Chains A and B, each alone.
Chain A
Amino acid sequence: MEFRLPDLGEGLEEAEVVEWLVGEGAVVARDQPIVAVSTDKAVVELPAPMAGRVTRRVGAAGDRIRVGEVVAVIEEVAAVAVPAAAAPAPPALRPRAAPAVRRLAVELGVDLQTVAATGPGGRIVADDVRRAANGGAAPAPVAPPPAPTAASAAPVAAGVGQAPPGRHPLTGIRRRTAEVVAGAWSSIPHIANMDEVDATELLEARTRLRRAAGEHGELIGVMPLLVMAVARTLRRFPLVNAHLDSAAGEVEVHAAVHIGLAVASADGLVVPVVREVERRGLLDLATEIERLVTAARSRRLRHTELEGATCTVTNFGSLGGRFSIPIIRPPEVAIFGFGAIAPRPLVVDGQVVARPTLPYVVAVDHRVLDGDAVCAVSAALAQTLGDPLSLLLG
């Protein structure tokens, strides 16, 4: 039987092979994932439509396959003819993974059903789980990255900026990111304002909220507070919470605030969307952010969770950055970026003192908004961040 690329929805016409999960000649169970394909930004594992032997695989990693084209050929095999050690065993009851690997998966929040196994006989090994947790694809044949030095400020994901000499195709999310950012950078005239705000109150609020949240306290980091502050700022400046339809020459201002969160995964940049931020309480918001970031890193986002952002927040501070110019994601008209909070010199009452400060960046599309808007939005955001109790005002 020829297994053709099914319609994956969302009007997609083609997908790219990320990784084969079974070898040619493998005997697979019905519904066993056999190949991982990347559509826009989500990676989907396609299950076998029937039990049998995979006699042919079409396409290698990086090849693009159109909907309706043959992905694999699966032939029926008589049950008795299946040799005992033929191929990756169908995980009839549970994924094959040793207890220590299963515990690691729980700790990292990885669903073993979604993990591609590289161990002998289809076993999931610890590295498979770690890779899935980092949202990564199959290991690239690269030299291990140099160990981070003790001085490095923030954890750097393994593999960042690493590749052996030679030509490498842009595949999957990388290719898609390349297209989008190139279009954005060449068509959007960015103007940006950068500043720092005293984060003393913000950190104090985070600590107290954590305590107040009891056992859910660990969910409450600075990020949910930042996202909430951005949402409040967008409510005060509705034109920033908008989409530009440049073909129609119109700006669509949105009533609801759906914030995209830029997440660095091993596959590249992924931007899941928190819906209706303005309606959420802090704990709810924190829980949703945690869920989306975890799903993004383990490639379990649904397409719908990647769409419909009205504005985007990027937290380059988590990677150790201080100031940067983020690229607006069309058709959005603004993006907010946050750097790392660290003790820095600040003038307070005429004295230079060390205070934790939060660097932030507001960038807008100059076609829609002018410099006065950037500065007003920045000032409003800074006011909220400097006095987080004001978030209670709504």
Chain B
Amino acid sequence: MVVGEVSTFSEVVVIGGGPGGYATAERAAALGRSVVLVERERLGGVCLNAGCIPSKALIQVANTVALPAEAAAWGVESDARADMERVQAWMAAVMDRLRGDVEGRMRRAGVGVVRGTARFSTARRVVVATNGSTQHIEFDHAVVATGSRPTALRALAVDHARILDSTDVLALRAIPRRTAVIGGGYIGLELGCALHKLGSAVTVVEIADRLLPAMHPALGGALQRRLSARGIEVLLGTSALDDDGAALRVRGPDGERRIEVDAVVVAVGRRPNTDELGLERAGVPCDAAGRIAVDPSRRATRTVLAVGDVTDGPGLAHKATAEAEVAAATAAGRRAAFAPACIPEVVFTDPEVASAGLTPERAREAGAEVVTRRLPLTASARALLRGDGAGFVELVAEPSGALLGAHIVGPDAAELIAEAALAIEMGATLEDLALTIHPHPTLSESLAMAAMS
């Protein structure tokens, strides 16, 4: 430290104010630790400002715009149009309100929020730069919760005008007439579905041989059939080559092809924000993908912990929040471990897709014998009312019946999956699910019916 520099001390310094960071800060403060939270932009992180929340707002708008066309089949005639300027104003108001909630929670918890960019200078100190001034903060524990950013494609540099990333799509004030979406993972598909409902002709380009390649294989297949039926073009085994300002050039199983579009959305994954933290000065190693390796107590080193997208596992807000609970306990000197039985994953497409726990393949790899129970949603009266009964519920269990996984494609799958997650965490069996009386007529019945089948 240079003579004259003054540093303050906080028992816990949290870097990053997203769902992982603010939850860690709030919980560590509740456990009696002094806590400073450093955020370089806005509290709430990607989730609140450019991810989960605005995307769900846009999807809700898109679903509403698309509803009249669906309802026409029920004999309802109406019309709906989206005024994107007002839509954006509404989304901004919702986000403002939620950000205010987070700020209030930090204030009530006694967490000091520092605006600026943090870098480690040692394993016990960070320097925070704010508009040219700096301050040093010493700590007993630092928790890295800096999240992730969209992965860039070298051949398709995002220019925020024609080549867009997910953040750009969420801020659109005019819907492109034709859109290509690079990436058939959950982000690309959610945005692609929403854009399609808002009137864009959408082509999804996925390099793998199925949509949602990280999930149960049958989910992507079922979703693809629905998307294709609705008019979304899906190109599998296809990679994007370049864009000439009028058309995107792709190469697929049938050779090269030009797709004339007005916008290209790049949604090919996210990479951890770990490269500008000075982690090497704190002695924290990263793997080739930039992830920080942590033990179950969330420790990377004696003094540095990490939660959320900067660590291994799915980049999901609820995973980060659950890890935050553990990191805060560890920083407060308690014994804690992050060891959930499952981390639910949800995709807000139409129909929705959701998973919790193991697929049959993963269960067998883990050495378990499995039984599966699959129920097509044509068996659910409510699913028929809600749509056309497309989709299914698949349950994966040990031969004893103990539930290992649940995989759903269908309306409100994202809501239904929570019951399955609880059942998995509690060690419930198929029989337990089947014998639990589910209300009729609901979508939730389909879980019990699948367990009974």
CB distance from B400 to the nearest CB of A (A): 4
Which residues from 359 to 404 on chain B have a C-beta closer than 8 Å to any C-beta of chain A? 363, 366-369, 398-402, 404
CA distance A109 to B336 in the complex (A): 9
A84 touches B429 (CB 8 A): yes
Please give me the residue from chain A that is nearest to B401 by CB atom.
A84
Contact A92 B336 (CB under 8 A): no
Q: Considering residues A89, A92, A103, A215, which has the most beta carbons from chain B within 10 angstroms of its beta carbon?
A: A92
- Contact B402 A85, beta carbon cutoff 8 Å: no
Q: How far is the CB of B305 from chain A (nearest CB, A)?
A: 11
> Which of A86, A89, A107 lies in contact with B335, CB distance below 8 A?
A107
Residues on the A chain within 8 Å of B367, using CB: 92-93
Cβ-closest chain A residue relative to B334: A107
**A residues less than 8 Å from B426 (CB atoms):** 98-99
Q: Is B242's beta carbon under 8 Å from chain A?
A: no
Interchain nearest-CB distance for B141 vs A (Å): 8
Least distance between B7 CB and chain A CB atoms (Å): 17
A340 to B74, CA, bound (A): 80
Return the chain B residue nearest A102 by Cβ.
B339
* CB <8 Å contact, A215 and B302: yes
User: Which of the residues A92, A107, A108 comes within 8 Å of B398, measured between beta carbons?
Assistant: A92
Q: A84-B431, A215-B302 are in contact. Are A96 and B336 (CB under 8 A)?
A: no
A86-B400 Cα distance, complex, nearest whole Å: 8
B341 at the interface (CB under 8 A from A): yes
Chain A: which residue is nearest B357 at the CB level? A93
**Are B401 and A89 interface neighbours, CB within 8 A?**
yes
Within 8 A of B (CB), among A104-130: 106-109, 121, 123
Once the chains are docked, how many angstroms separate the CA of A97 from the CA of B427?
Answer: 6
Q: Are the C-beta atoms of A92 and B369 separated by less than 8 Å?
A: yes
Q: Is the CB of A99 within 8 A of B425?
A: yes
CB-CB under 8 A from A10, the residues of chain B are none
The answer on a CB contact under 8 Å between A98 and B427 is: yes
Contact B140 A215 (CB under 8 A): yes
Flag A307-327 by CB within 8 Å of B: 1 or 0 each: 000000000000000000000
CB contacts (< 8 Å) of B339 on chain A: these are 102, 106
Contact between A96 and B427 (Cβ–Cβ < 8 Å)? Answer: yes
**Which residues of B sit under 8 angstroms from A90, Cβ to Cβ?**
398, 400
Contact of A89 among B334, B336, B363, B402 (CB under 8 A): B402
Distance, CA A123 to CA B401, complexed state (A) = 13
A89→B425 contact, CB < 8 A: no
Structural contact, B429 and A121, CB atoms closer than 8 A: yes
User: Taking CB as reference atom, which chain A residue is nearest B124?
Assistant: A214
Given A84-B400, A99-B425; 4 other pairs, CB 8 A cutoff: A96-B427, A98-B426, A108-B335, A121-B427
Binding site for B on A (CB under 8 A): 27, 79, 82, 84-86, 89-90, 92-94, 96-99, 102-103, 106-109, 121, 123, 214-215, 218
Can you pick out 19 interface pairs between chain A and chain B where the beta carbons lie within 8 Å of each other? A79-B399, A84-B401, A85-B400, A86-B400, A89-B429, A92-B398, A93-B363, A93-B366, A97-B427, A98-B426, A99-B340, A103-B336, A106-B335, A106-B336, A107-B335, A109-B335, A121-B429, A215-B140, A218-B333
Please list the residues of chain B having a beta carbon within 8 angstroms of any beta carbon in chain A: 140-141, 302-303, 333-337, 339-341, 358, 363, 366-369, 398-402, 404, 425-427, 429-431
